[in-house]
């Protein structure tokens, strides 16, 4: 463990996401010694005058063990998973409270659902709460409210557009609170070119300097206890990167890892711990919310011409470029924009409802008034460029494939 004391810096804000496999013992019980280590490291950072927020996993697994239930199966009822989350959440927070209490620190539990971050007003209210907790020197501990939210618990298909084992939640929260760094703690020592658990020759990326490199990495496989894996962590890293936030991924199984990452956060040498992912183009304000709202309310499919117009010209999406509409959404909702191959290249705020877009799909903007009613004023675009966020590296690589 490094003992280097970080140089004097301006006040920083750090989000630490702790994965299920880091918090759990082999038998499924809580790894109290690791939480004790984390609380010690974080308290040292707080003593330096910085802010730290924790995004934690582990409630479902802990609840399952407490209730004496068998290992999870693919057909486990959602209600059972929700019950496990409700029981496990109390155990998880008690462990954090006891560990930080030994350092004279208080913690606050915050449970969120995808809807909380999808609705603009809820999004702003949560930010106010977090800011107040920072002012009061309280450590916020966030988790998805699995006892209420069922989308991620149901199956992989429905989980595709939600948090993804709290990984994406950590990126969204990082953007929300204006974090300077996001630490993702998992059970591997960073990002590798191959899965290090199955390939002893796998090489670690010490630094990833661009979104193009990030997009080129394919690490398959899920963790044994959690719902995510390295794939969801890379997706979270990309979201944070597009919001201008550096990401550090490392093993939470190593003692002192948080303090080590904090002490070496700016180092770019090959010998640095974990993997540092440098930020890309920075989104601000409402565009952060649009681009990384936790769940899109629907999907608009577009043709190749519209794809090139969005990617190459940063244009608005016009009715003529729409080929299909998936889901039910209203005007003003955040929607995904996908190519015919199914690649999500952008997100934006819909100027029309789903039924209206179906009526005008493939037609010229001059026909909109005739198709939807001459007595109403209608915009010329389906999604205006000022309310559209291009998922840049992914779009450039995949959108015109």
Q: Which of 62-71, 228-237, 294-303, 366-375 has the lowest mean pLDDT?
A: 228-237
Q: Which of 43-57, 242-256, 386-400 has the lowest mean pLDDT?
A: 386-400
CATH superfamily of 296-398: PUA domain (2.30.130.10)
Extents of the domains making up the chain: 13-286, 296-398
pLDDT of residue 269: 81
Q: Which of 52-61, 182-191, 383-392 has the lowest mean pLDDT?
A: 383-392
> What CATH code would you report for 13-286?
3.40.1160.10
In terms of pLDDT, which residue wins out, 24 or 214? 24
Instruction: Confirm if 334 and 389 have CB atoms less than 8 A apart.
Output: no
pLDDT class for 223, splitting at 50, 70, 90?
very low
User: 45-91 pLDDT, tens per residue?
Assistant: 999 999 999 999 888 888 888 888 876 665 677 788 888 888 989 99
User: 263-299 pLDDT, tens per residue?
Assistant: 999 888 888 889 999 887 666 667 777 776 556 789 9
pLDDT class for 160, splitting at 50, 70, 90?
very low
Instruction: Confirm if 241 and 181 have CB atoms less than 8 A apart.
Output: no
Instruction: Confirm if 185 and 19 have CB atoms less than 8 A apart.
Output: yes
Instruction: Give mean pLDDT, residues 220-241.
Output: 64
pLDDT of residue 135: 94
Q: For residue 50, give both structure tokens.
A: 């910085």
pLDDT of residue 176: 80
In terms of pLDDT, which residue wins out, 71 or 151? 71
In terms of pLDDT, which residue wins out, 380 or 43? 43
Per-residue 3-state assignment (H helix, E strand, C coil) for 358-381:
HHHCCCCHHHHHHHHCCCCCCCCC
Find the helix packing angle between 78-101 and 32-47, rounded to 10°: 50
Residues in the chain: 401
Instruction: Give mean pLDDT, residues 372-391.
Output: 86
Average pLDDT for the chain: 82
Instruction: In whole angstroms, give the CA distance from residue 210 to residue 212.
Output: 5
Q: For residue 397, give both structure tokens.
A: 């690589």
Using alpha carbons, list the distances in angstroms from residue 249 to 11, 14, 246, 387. Answer: 22, 13, 10, 31
C-alpha 3 chain-centroid distance: 31
- Residue 306's nearest CA partner among 297, 298, 295, 315 is 315
């Amino acid at each position: 463990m490094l003992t280097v004391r970080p140089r004097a810096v301006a006040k920083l804000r750090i989000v630490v996401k702790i994965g299920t496999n880091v918090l759990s013992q082999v038998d499924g019980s809580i790894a109290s010694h690791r939480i004790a280590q984390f609380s010690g490291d974080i308290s040292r950072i707080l003593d330096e005058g910085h802010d730290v927020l924790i995004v934690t996993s582990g409630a479902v697994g802990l609840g399952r063990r407490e209730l004496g239930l068998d290992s999870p199966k693919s057909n486990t009822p959602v209600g059972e998973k929700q019950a496990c989350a409700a029981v496990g959440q109390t155990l998880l927070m008690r462990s954090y409270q006891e560990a930080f209490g030994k350092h004279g620190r208080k913690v606050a539990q915050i449970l969120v659902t995808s809807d909380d971050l999808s609705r603009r007003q809820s999004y702003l209210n949560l930010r106010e709460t977090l800011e107040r907790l920072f002012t009061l020197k309280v450590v916020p501990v966030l988790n998805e409210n699995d006892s209420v939210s069922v989308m991620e618990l149901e199956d992989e298909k429905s989980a595709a557009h939600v948090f993804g084992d709290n990984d994406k939640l950590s990126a969204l929260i990082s953007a929300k609170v204006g974090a300077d760094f996001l630490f993702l703690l998992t059970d591997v020592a960073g990002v590798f070119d191959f899965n290090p658990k199955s390939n002893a020759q796998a090489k670690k990326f010490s630094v990833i300097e661009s979104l193009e490199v990030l997009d080129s990495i394919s690490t398959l496989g899920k963790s044994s206890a959690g719902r995510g894996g390295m794939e969801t962590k890379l997706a979270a890293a990309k979201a944070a990167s597009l919001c201008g936030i550096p990401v550090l991924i490392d093993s939470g199984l190593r003692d002192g890892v948080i303090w080590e990452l904090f002490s070496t956060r700016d180092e770019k040498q090959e010998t640095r711990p974990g993997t540092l992912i440098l930020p890309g183009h920075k989104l601000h304000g409402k565009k952060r919310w649009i681009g990384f709202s936790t769940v899109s309310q629907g999907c608009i499919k577009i043709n190749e011409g519209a794809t090139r117009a969005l990617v190459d010209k940063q244009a608005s999406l016009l009715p003529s470029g729409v080929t299909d509409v998936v889901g039910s959404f209203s005007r003003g909702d955040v929607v995904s924009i996908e190519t015919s191959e199914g690649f999500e290249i952008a997100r934006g705020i819909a100027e029309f409802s789903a039924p209206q877009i179906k009526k005008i799909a493939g037609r010229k903007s001059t026909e909109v008034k005739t198709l939807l009613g001459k007595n109403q004023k209608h915009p010329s675009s389906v999604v205006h460029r000022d309310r559209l966020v291009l998922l840049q590296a992914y779009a450039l690589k995949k959108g015109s494939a």
